[in-house]
Structure 1
Amino acid sequence: MSTITVFESVSLDGVMQGPGRADEDARGGFTEGGWSNGYQDEVLMKYAGEGMGAGPALVFGHRTYDDVLGYWSSVGPNPFVDVLLGSEKFVVSRSADTALAYPNSELLAGEAVSTVAALKERSSRDLLILGSGELVRSLHIAGLVDRYALQIHPIVVGSGARLFGQGDRVDLRLGRSIPTTTGVLIVEYTVAR
């Protein structure tokens, strides 16, 4: 059985929608896209590289899969896109007709909780979820997430989709914390079972 880690950039008020660029995710009239720009530094890049370098299989919601791989594939050769394309990827979608455009991708068609629970049982590799807020919220409520690797940015965005919605209390244990030179706090929490 594998473990599931959620890797997210969040604002101090818990917003995880559209951190990378203005046009990343405007659902619900969100106009603050790109809010994490200007906070990257060597510490954050090194940490992200460590996580990707560990070789986990990646799990995405369908929308995030198309957006992340589409964007990074369009910006030209770089180490991040090489890792993304080379990694084993699982894409969660309610539709069995979902087309997957990138190599090493497998569709998990059906309801997220049941398809990801089955993947967690059968996979020997750790699973890393990037973005995919709706997916993360449903897996969190179902108790399938084992670990959170959060990059908490020193900004209050004020609106947008938050990482956690309404739900039951979940206790977390701090495993590691790393401050960056730009004020981002990288924290790793394990879910207390």
Structure 2
Amino acid sequence: MRKIIVCTFLTLDGVMQAPGGPDEDAESGFEHGGWQKPVSDEEVGAGIAEWYEDSDAMLLGRKTYDIFASYWPTADPDNPFTERMNSTRKYVASRTLTSVEWRNSALLEGDIADAVRALKASEGGDINVVGSGDLAQTLMRHDLVDEYRLTIHPVIIGTGKRLFADGAIPTALEPVSVSTTKSGTVLGIYRPKGKPTYDSYQ
């Protein structure tokens, strides 16, 4: 069974919107695009690279697909991520796209939850959900996420799209690996562990 792994860059207050640049995603008037690079370091890059070693596909929502497809095909070939991003199989969840042109991309058809269940049951390596906040929340609601791989950066933005937005399903998490880089970024890998439990200190 293939694992669905949500890989996301977050601020300390949980914002995932537009980490890569000012023009990446200005939806809802977001003015803080490009917040990640100033609070990142080489350890973060190495940690992220490890996240992709056991995966052979990405699962993307329409907005993230559009951002990636406009950048990676012409990105710096000396960037070690360029060939990986272009050669990796991409599955795209969209209600509006009728075709996808980026190399090795395919549109998922029908109900997204059913399509992802079929992907999980197919042959292959792990599948990384990159960015794609709306899609990630849909997968969470249908209990389809097997693991979270998060970079949590030492910066507070205050506004923007959040991975765990209002209405997120209450879930206990098992920490698999948690470390902190020299820049103060937390690299955390967590697996869902059923429902939270509750107790009192009284």
TM-score (norm 1): 0.93
Structure 1 window deviating more from structure 2 (101-110 vs 23-32): it is: 101-110
Give SS of 1:56's match.
strand
Please name the residue that 1:46 is paired with. Answer: 46
How much does 1:73 deviate?
A: 2.8
Q: Which runs of 5+ in 1 are unaligned?
A: none
Determine the C-alpha separation between the residues in 2 that align with 1:27 and 1:114: 29
Report matched runs for 1:36-185 at 5 Å: 36-77=36-77, 78-95=79-96, 98-165=98-165, 166-185=167-186
The CA deviation at 1:13 is 0.9
Gaps of 5+ in 2: 195-202
1:53 is paired with a residue of what secondary structure? coil
- AA in 2 matched with 1:79: P
AA paired with 2:30? Answer: F
In 2: Cα distance, 1:190 partner to 1:162 partner: 19
**How much has 1:40 moved relative to structure 2?**
2.3
User: What secondary structure is seen at the aligned counterpart in 1 of 2:28?
Assistant: helix
Amino acid at match of 1:135: L
Give the aligned CA root-mean-square deviation in angstroms. Answer: 1.5
Contact 2:5–2:128 (8 Å) recurs in 1: yes
- Runs ≥4 in structure 1, deviation > 6 angstroms? none
Larger Rg: 2
Which residue of the partner structure matches residue 200 of structure 2?
none
Give the letter aligned to residue 148 of structure 2. Y
